[in-house]
Amino acid sequence: MDTYNPSSWGERPFDLFILDEFDWSLPSDQDHLQWNKLCQKFLSLGAKGREPYYEGEFDREWPRPTEEQIRRIRPLQTTQERSVYGEAIWLRTCYLQGSDRRHEAMLRKVAETAPPEDGPCSRIEKKHCVFDDSDRYDFGDDWARIFTHIPELVYPTFGPGTLDPENLSAFFTGAFDELAGKIVNHIYLVDEEALRTGLLKIIWFDAFGKMAWSNFLPPQYLNDFSSWRDALGFSNLVETTIAHDDPKCCRGTLFSNERDLERMVSWKPDN
């Protein structure tokens, strides 16, 4: 993994937001609490409210942080959390006894179906996007807590999530296109249900960090999914693989145009 470069801190939109909002006069033992509150505030701004910070990323006149400010902020985010800027991550939130073997089996399914050029590791592992740490990510069902670790996940990395709602109709016409216009990114979630069924959960979320849609995906299809996602986009993916006709249903299956969920949940990890 790339080592942390202190000189790079203060250049990204969330860095600029922290510099703008952090109360440096408070004692340092309150830094973590203050960080968590500011992460939530950053999400609550939405894409429109964060525009000054997106624009500031390319504005070299923005004030640089001091060494003391960097020293206080640096421990609040790991090098790995900072390194996945603009990526979709694999997040494990369940660490019940005996679940390690199932999780390892799911990762193995991804690695076994990776393109030959990726070698023994899957692409998502090579990008250091697998977050598997019981001390930091034991969230249970509350997956959204990841935003207090990586608020940058709500950057508009997937889909036109920065468009104003009144302008969406100019770009989208399909049944799921309006929903697609709200989505900015997604995560691959491994919670208790995912470990039990052997199916990854894809959680699609909007600029506020709110879930807009979710799908199941067998881990062996993850490498192909990345290509489908980039080629088809969210709307076409869902319309061609949805298991229900009701757009309000968030439990559509998403795996190689197959709809037999019962067959897929019978998958068991290798011994």
Note the pLDDT tens digit of each residue in 43-75.
999 999 998 888 766 665 777 899 999 999 999
* Residue 128 reports pLDDT greater than 70: yes
Higher pLDDT, 149 or 120: 149
8-state DSSP, 245: S
Residue ranges of the alpha helices (H) in the chain?
Answer: 13-21, 31-44, 46-49, 51-56, 67-73, 79-83, 99-112, 123-126, 134-137, 177-180, 192-197, 222-241, 261-265
Instruction: Write down the pLDDT at residue 183.
Output: 85
User: Tokens representing 132?
Assistant: 């598997």
- Report how far apart the first and last C-alpha atoms of the chain are (Å, whole number): 30
**Mean pLDDT over residues 106-113, rounded?**
90
Instruction: Write down the pLDDT at residue 135.
Output: 97
Instruction: Write down the pLDDT at residue 98.
Output: 92
146, 126, 124: which is closest to 136 by C-alpha?
Answer: 146
102/240 Cα distance (integer angstroms): 29
Domain ranges of the chain: 6-77, 86-265
Instruction: Write down the pLDDT at residue 174.
Output: 54
43, 212, 192: which is closest to 202 by C-alpha?
Answer: 212
**Mean pLDDT over residues 128-134, rounded?**
94
How many other C-beta atoms lie within 10 A of the C-beta of residue 188? 24
User: Tokens representing 88?
Assistant: 């979709």
pLDDT tens digits, residue range 75-104? Answer: 999 999 998 877 889 999 999 999 999 999
132/185 Cα distance (integer angstroms): 20
Instruction: Write down the pLDDT at residue 5.
Output: 57
* Residue 113 reports pLDDT greater than 90: no
Instruction: Write down the pLDDT at residue 117.
Output: 64
Instruction: Write down the pLDDT at residue 116.
Output: 64
The dihedral through the CA atoms of 156, 125, 79, 99 has a sign that is positive
Q: How many residues does the chain have?
A: 271
- How would you class 261 by CB atoms within 10 Å of its CB: exposed for 0-12, middle for 13-18, buried for 19 or more? middle
pLDDT tens digits, residue range 162-212? Answer: 334 444 344 444 555 667 778 888 999 999 999 998 989 999 899 999 998
199/251 Cα distance (integer angstroms): 12
pLDDT band at 159 (very low <50, low <70, confident <90, very high): very low
Give the residue carrying structure tokens 């709809």.
259
pLDDT tens digits, residue range 27-48? Answer: 999 999 999 999 999 999 999 9
